[in-house]
Amino acid sequence: MPNFQSPDQIIRPEILALSAYHVPPATGMIKLDAMENPYPLPAVLREEIAQLTATVPVNRYPDASAASLKAALRQALAISDEMDILLGNGSDEIIQIIAMAAAKPGAVLMSVEPAFVMFRMIATFANMPYVGVPLKKDFSLDLEAMLAAIEKHKPAVIFLAYPNNPTGNLFDANAILTIIRATSGIVIVDEAYHAFADASMINQLTQYPNLLLMRTLSKLGLAGLRLGLLIGRSEWLTQLEKVRLPYNVGIMTQLIAEKVLHHTDVLLEQAEAIKAERTKVRQYLDTIDGLEVFPSDANFILFRVHTASKIFQALKQHRILIKNLDGTHPLLENCLRVTVGTPDENSQFCEILRTILSKTV
């Protein structure tokens, strides 16, 4: 019998040092922590989906190329024929595909801080050194610092979310273009929150050979399906396709997403409703003393309070789940992030927050 090695002998030290991505239990809670669209699909559409799925050949593997779904995406998102599409089991998986493909020894993955935590975590999974360049205090891009970091670290890959999570703002488009021109690596502009912002870099794809654009259906109302996409030139996507597992997008996801994409008006109307609610929540939060509310082009709002962890816990006791960012980055001290929900969820959140604050201040 060999002497079995323990996990800490087999698993890489940088994985042992990680904390797993934490998804808190949310049963029975008003769930405003994960940037989901709070609205269900209309009943008629759900009925059509039910009929469609009744006859799905689940004994067969899905279409590995997802050709029909890609055609629907191309049309719904106005993706030019010049660009290819790569699909992921959520855009999380696309970040992983890119990192795995680019992880030459020592190749650097760069982003800003604070940013979407999976950029950093996936760099670690792929054994890539990660460089996070701090944003300015107002969460805008520190272009000078970015350019200096690019010069110093020569990153293979840069991820920039546009709008950014968890801050909610859009970075200056010209600053992003300057970064794209300054780096010899690839830049992935992550437009997960595109539906809530009136801006996109999609039209820049033809101009910049080192630019790739990432989107997801998660924030649009299909988070449970897990579908993300990368849009870019075939010279890049042909290589990245080799790292994609053949059946990463299941048959149910392909069928349902394609069906819903033929009704994008429904999703876009819901996004408009969320934007209108975002304005209302923001205006309400602005009236509360002791809150600092940051501007948002996404479906969530970041705000600062005096004692974030206390407020977070008190909200939780009232069955309202938001995200506590205190302690995750110095710039996010005492910051909380709330996803915009339905009008009813939002007013419950606002009223309970006001009551809690009036007791703790």
Q: Give 314 or 323: the residue with its C-beta nearer to ligand PMP.
A: 323
- Count the site residues for ligand PMP by CB under 6 A: 13
Residue 159: strand pairing partners: 188
- CB atoms inside a 10 Å sphere around CB 314: 18
- Beta carbon of residue 163, minimum distance to ligand PMP (angstroms, whole number): 8
- Nearer Cβ to ligand PMP, position 163 or 356? 163
Q: Quick one: DSSP state of residue 204? A: G
Q: Which of 91, 111, 248, 324 binds ligand PMP (CB under 6 A)?
A: 91
Residue 216 touching ligand PMP (CB under 6 A): yes
- Out of 190, 277, 326, 345, name the contact with ligand PMP by CB under 6 A: 190
Stretch that binds ligand PMP, among 54-62, 87-95, 150-158, 259-267 (CB under 6 A): 87-95
Query: How far, CA to CA in Å, does 116 sit from each of 95, 149, 159, 193?
Result: 11, 19, 9, 12
Among 66, 103, 107, 116, the residue binding ligand PMP under the rule CB under 6 A is 116
d(CA 337, CA 167): 8
CB of 98 to ligand PMP, least distance (A): 12
Tell whether residue 161 is a contact of ligand PMP (CB under 6 A): yes
The CA distance from 253 to 225, in Å, is 5
Residue type, 104: K
Distance (Å, rounded) from C-alpha 89 to C-alpha 16? 25
The answer to the question of residue 92 lying near ligand PMP (CB under 6 A) is yes
Rounded Cα distance, 224 and 250, in Å: 12
Q: In this complex, which beta carbon is closest to ligand PMP, that of residue 102 or of residue 357?
A: 102
Q: Does 248 bind ligand PMP (CB under 6 A)?
A: no
- Which letter does DSSP use for residue 4 in this model? P
Structure tokens at 86: 């790569």
For ligand PMP, the binding residue among 30, 32, 33, 35 (CB under 6 A) is 35
Specify the 3-state DSSP secondary structure of 282: helix
* Residue position matching structure tokens 């800003």: 112
Span 308-327, contacts to ligand PMP by CB under 6 A: none
122 binds ligand PMP (CB under 6 A): no
- Cβ closer to ligand PMP: 153 or 215? 215
The Cα diameter of the chain in Å comes to 69
Stretch that binds ligand PMP, among 60-68, 90-98, 136-144, 351-359 (CB under 6 A): 90-98
Three-class SS string for 194-235? HHHCCCCCHHHCCCCCCEEEEEECHHHHHHHHCCEEEEECHH
Q: Are 340 and 298 in contact (CB under 8 A)?
A: no
Candidate residues 37, 96, 111, 165; the one interacting with ligand PMP per rule CB under 6 A: 165
Question: Pick from 158, 187, 192, 212: which binds ligand PMP (CB under 6 A)?
Answer: 192
Shortest distance (Å) from residue 165 CB to ligand PMP: 4
- E runs forming strands in 81-181: 84-88, 109-113, 130-134, 157-161
CB nearer to ligand PMP: pick between 301 and 314: 301
Is the sign of the CA dihedral 168, 171, 172, 177 positive or negative? negative
* φ and ψ of 145, to 5 deg: -65, -40
For ligand PMP, the nearest residue by Cβ is 90
Beta bridge partner(s), residue 134: 113
By CB under 6 A, what part of segment 226-245 binds ligand PMP? 228
Min dist. Cβ of residue 131 to ligand PMP (A): 18
Per CB under 6 A, residues contacting ligand PMP are: 35, 90-92, 116, 161, 165, 190, 192, 216, 218, 223, 228
